[in-house]
Amino acid sequence: MTLIASDTRRIVIGLGQTGYACARYLSAKGADFAVVDTREKPPLAAQFYREFPQVELRCGELDADFLSQATELVLSPGVAKSSPAIQFALQHGVRVIGDIDLFCREIDAPIVAITGSNAKSTVTTLVGEMAKAAGVKVAVGGNIGTPVLDLLANDPADLYVLELSSFQLETTHELRAQAATVLNISPDHMDRYPDLQSYYLAKHRIYRGCRNAIINRDDALTAPLVSQGMKTISFGLSAPDLGQFGMAEHEGSTWLFKGLFPLMPVAELKVSGAHNVANVLAALALGESAGLPMQAMLQAVRAFSGLKHRCQWVADKQGVSFINDSKGTNVGATLAAIQGLGLMLEAQQKLLVILGGVGKEQQFTELKAPLAEHARAVILIGKDADQIASDLEGLTVIRASSLDNAIELSLEHAVAGDTVLLSPACASFDMFSGYEDRGDQFIKIVEALS
């Protein structure tokens, strides 16, 4: 690690996983720092006192005067930069950075940086798998899995693949990625941002200083406003122009393409749905921009079955496919799954969709039109089944007494070629310990089918 200037006083704000990683990093560097947390009793406080007895930890309301004594604040993603105490420090000349900038100061290897409202983790994981297939020493982290500074505890990697949230990007100035993407933009975290424009601007900080900007040509909000000095490569579900990524007909079926060159049939993908085809195309564009060979990337694509509980293919049983999207805990996520899978079905094929659980006072009427188009039946489980049935009045709706029973009823109403989709649009705590437990039970039940 490079030396840290001794005349710089840092204050880490937030003692969650990221803040703790910052503390470990700064301590290892012999840096002068303190830590503050807005909670009176942060869960990691006892561990922190044991590991860093010499470091000051202040808990409770942020002290503007104390923060303004620092030369640099290291802000955790969970703490809003708009906090009055932080704004006071900024007005007094204090720099505000995040863990990503600390990380970027330490490494020389290229970075692939990924953000977006949806699918960040899927694309980040897939690019990591592509690098492994190519024999490249890769490290994957950020907003997924390992905090970036903890990646430095291992031997240096030849490539870093980072998932970055809008919160992390707010305090990122020094990224300069080899390849960067905003996969998609839709309203999210509107409790943190005053409007969509503010959220959009935070996401677009990922393009600062990047060499290759990977944009979604099906979402105009992903294109950088200023592309000077960077190459722009697009992906999308249409036939691509030269050098771009997309899909088109070839030899009687739909293939992934780069420009005029067919890469592989869409039918060979283990991941399901048009949204996942777009994710694969984005990963291919990112990987190629980072110098990964195409054949190794396609090998990884063929092996990739998606992230667990996120439109995860489970098995084909009795001529019917089973998809686990237990992570679909709200209407928006389930809507994306239904539309994405529905677009890939043949004319005679339909979905059997398992919905239900704790509805969190949502309205489910937005699901009615896509279900009417793509679903043969809806099978309801859980606490708020009555409300969902009311919101979906007019569709074929079947009540189930348990997840076991829902799978059984799905098979009874399915025909060969159909897909059973668990995407509940609800929280799981009425019947399960969490969405992971719900998805794991779904997998277990399906795999036990004959």
Q: Which residues are catalytic?
A: 120, 143, 189
Nearest partner of 20 among 91, 99, 132, judged by Cα = 99
DSSP 352-370: EEEE-SB-TT---GGGHHH
Pairing of strands 212-216, 231-235: parallel
Q: Is 166 helix (H, G, I), strand (E, B) or coil?
A: helix
Q: What are residue 231's DSSP bridge partners?
A: 212
Find all residues with CB under 8 Å of 132, minimum gap 6, and list them: 138, 300
Edge-to-edge strand list for the sheet holding 95-97: 57-59, 32-37, 9-13, 72-75, 95-97
* Alpha carbons 395 and 190: distance in angstroms, whole number: 32
Tally of CB atoms within 10 A around 422: 33
Nearest partner of 365 among 336, 389, 385, 386, judged by Cα = 389
* Alpha carbons 441 and 107: distance in angstroms, whole number: 42
Find all residues with CB under 8 Å of 390, minimum gap 6, and list them: none
Phi-psi map region of 311: left, alpha, beta (phi>0 left; psi -120 to 50 alpha):
left
* Alpha carbons 156 and 145: distance in angstroms, whole number: 18
Contact (CB, 8 A) for 35 and 25: no
Contact (CB, 8 A) for 143 and 165: yes
Burial environment of residue 413 by CB neighbours within 10 A (0 to 12, 13 to 18, 19 or more):
middle
Nearest partner of 358 among 294, 293, 438, 419, judged by Cα = 438
Q: For 217, which DSSP code?
A: T
Burial environment of residue 41 by CB neighbours within 10 A (0 to 12, 13 to 18, 19 or more):
exposed
* Alpha carbons 303 and 245: distance in angstroms, whole number: 20
Q: Is 294 helix (H, G, I), strand (E, B) or coil?
A: helix
